[in-house]
Structure 1
């Protein structure tokens, strides 16, 4: 706005000055033409004025009210010759034709205010007065042809005062207008800013409330997951220690009864019962092994991951590489996170064994103060174009259930294909939302 004020103020004052100077120059030129033109008709035939014309000009510009207004004058020919001048030293000399002089010979009235930069203006500069330099065409009376140019310098003290007053008024008007606009804009922006601040405060409170709710939901889900896994672990232990043991006892009793049965039909039925009991024992042990968990609460992250990898290697006879980049230190992982890591690695290795035949199985764990990232990789054929909810390997919980478990803790679950071949399961948890 300041730049606009300066630009507008400069433009307005310049236009006012140009208009005032032009109007003053036109009026003065018209007035002077009534005196100068009749005395300069000799220029139509000659490059000098007659003695009578010179004497008449001297009388007009000496000791008269017009002479008090006009500080000096020059009469020009088109070739740059000064035919007559109030300064006799300039009479008969030639100078380079200026743009104003050239325009005057084209019939225009030109004027400059306090711009005395031409070589022939040295005497006028020395006067130290505010001068209005006017170029007025001199026309032949009967034909209207331009035969010369009268250049005269009017003392413009009153004009200078008027221009200064106009400049002050113009700048004051522009400044006041810009000030009013600025105050209005400031009021509008201030009101809008306060509205935005209030809305921002409301949004901040709402965001904090939503964040608190999200954390509470994640913590509740974490507690529920921990409770659910604990219950599953107890169920698995109960299955292993209860029905599995009873079924094993029943199998032993069947073996003891076999010696006392001698009928072929009864032996065949006894064999069927024995097979059913052993199948039931196998199913119960598989179920208990799938739902039971080790003592995760007392284990560190590296022991949990290595324990899963060792158990998988022992069960499948395949090699599993484990790479830990864990700065565990004071990072306390909730039980739900430890269980999630256990299940993720367990399911990821099961998936790698089922789909990749255990080739290139690897577990990579990175733990910082804020983020936990677990990756399970293999060198198999990669994931086919199947949805996440595809059927899991035998004894597994499935990628769909694994994804639900990870996302319930606010984490990100990804399944990727590696290059040139292989698959990767990736889990990323923000620990800030699970503690």
Structure 2
């Protein structure tokens, strides 16, 4: 039987056995069990250290690689050993058989004398220790001589002898399952067959093929010994590489673990600091709001004191001056008018100060109503026009924020009146994506963005720096848009 046929037969047997085994061993609930098994396996693998996971993966990959390398090397060594033994045996047998087949260059078969000589040769005790059977093939696949006489003059497939007819030595460790090998199978000993070309002495042409079966016990022992050596070398090399890789990865794994511990400690420290900072921020916000409330109360008290104190005294002075002017004819009227004018101006200024310091009750006002109120009061106080451009603003807002917005708009309008003569005064308000935006602009001469406002006498007052501090104390953002000749826009943004 041919080699391809043998391989096909083995493959069919293996597939059939494997399929049958899988079907018989598969229980009814196997898919569920497989899923549970995979989940447990993945969980256990994830719990392993990185170095262990690497070694397992490397052992799998490297093991498979070295397994195939070992198989390939073993197969090559086995093939080389068999081929070497076959060629040696072929040269040995050619020396015995070629003298008896020279007549086949003229005839199609062997003479009775040649057959008798070959039988006598096979009875040799020294030859029987190595060679158990001989066949001589004609070029058409007919057996012209065989130790098993039942095969003589029978024709068989030419798969193996075709290569030998080309002058090559063909060999294989056979399972002896071909039809012509029944005699050899019944010997029940390990054999390997060799096909050797037999040539004409004169022309060197291949005139027949000699097939002989040699005892394979010693050859198999030698092959097994070499195979063991190969696998020992491959195994030792694989183990050495895995050990080296393990120690290298283990070292890196320890470094990573130390870094992870350090990072966890830093993360815990950062978390603690974040919590502490958040608590401090809340305290700062509460303190700022409380300070704003106390500041407004203080301003109200100062305004009330001005109204109830100096304002009343100045009023009394004006009344007394009127009485004095009526009952004293000798009083210098020009001096009286000067004193009355000064007192009147002082009273007006004190009342303006007290009115500016004391805020109206804005607890119950919405942001829209508050902005309308501050614009209206500015118009009443200055006689200028204030335009409102208000979008959809929140109905509710904290009191500190309302106070801050009122003071911001009030001071920005005062600056617009003082430095832009109240031209183009506009209050804008909008609420977009959680951001409250308040803007006061004018059409004055403009200014530098970081300028601080001061009066003609050089006295400092609550200007842009004060506005910035007031807005930023509540977590807002303060900005100025201004350029010479294009007016000024003062912006405050608060995140609600």
* TM-score, normalization by structure 1: 0.66
1:27 positional shift: 0.8
The alpha-carbon distance between structure 1 residues 322 and 269, as it changes in their structure 2 partners (threshold 3 A), is closer
Listed as ranges, the matches of 1:1-150 within 5 Å are: 1-98=62-159, 100-150=160-210
254, 265, 272: which is aligned to 1:212? 272
Higher deviation after alignment, 157-166 or 61-70: 61-70
Distance 1:237 1:188 in 2: 72
Corresponding residue number in structure 2 for 1:401: 472
| Aligned-CA RMSD value | 4.2
Structure ID, larger Rg: 2
Distance 2:495 2:155 in 1: 95
Distance 2:476 2:137 in 1: 103
The alpha-carbon distance between structure 1 residues 139 and 234, as it changes in their structure 2 partners (threshold 3 A), is same
Distance 2:118 2:143 in 1: 15
Distance 1:355 1:130 in 2: 111
| 3-state SS of paired residue (2:210) | strand
Distance 1:14 1:55 in 2: 40
Distance 1:285 1:212 in 2: 44
- Bigger RCO of structures 1 and 2 (CA < 8 A, at least 6 apart): 1
Q: Does 1:315 align with 2:370?
A: yes
Distance 1:285 1:106 in 2: 122
Query: Is 2:367–2:394's contact at 8 Å kept on the other side of the alignment?
Result: no
1:140 positional shift: 1.7
Corresponding residue number in structure 2 for 1:185: 245
Higher deviation after alignment, 164-173 or 18-27: 164-173
Listed as ranges, the matches of 1:155-304 within 5 Å are: 155-241=215-301, 243-249=302-308, 250-251=310-311, 254=314, 260=321, 269-270=342-343, 272-285=345-358
Query: Is 2:288–2:474's contact at 8 Å kept on the other side of the alignment?
Result: no
Listed as ranges, the matches of 1:340-419 within 5 Å are: 343=401, 357=428, 375-376=434-435, 401=472
The alpha-carbon distance between structure 1 residues 232 and 81, as it changes in their structure 2 partners (threshold 3 A), is same
1:196 positional shift: 2.1
The alpha-carbon distance between structure 1 residues 396 and 211, as it changes in their structure 2 partners (threshold 3 A), is same
1:342 positional shift: 6.8
Query: Gaps spanning 5+ residues in structure 1: where?
Result: 295-306, 324-337, 364-374, 381-388, 407-423, 428-435
Query: Is 1:135–1:149's contact at 8 Å kept on the other side of the alignment?
Result: yes
* TM-score, normalization by structure 2: 0.59
Query: Is 1:77–1:147's contact at 8 Å kept on the other side of the alignment?
Result: yes
Query: Is 1:33–1:138's contact at 8 Å kept on the other side of the alignment?
Result: yes
Q: Per-residue displacement from partner, 1:52-92 (whole Å, max 9, x unpaired)?
A: 22222211112432133212222223332222222222222
Query: Gaps spanning 5+ residues in structure 2: where?
Result: 1-61, 326-335, 373-389, 410-424, 440-448, 452-462, 478-492
Count of aligned residue pairs for this structure pair = 350
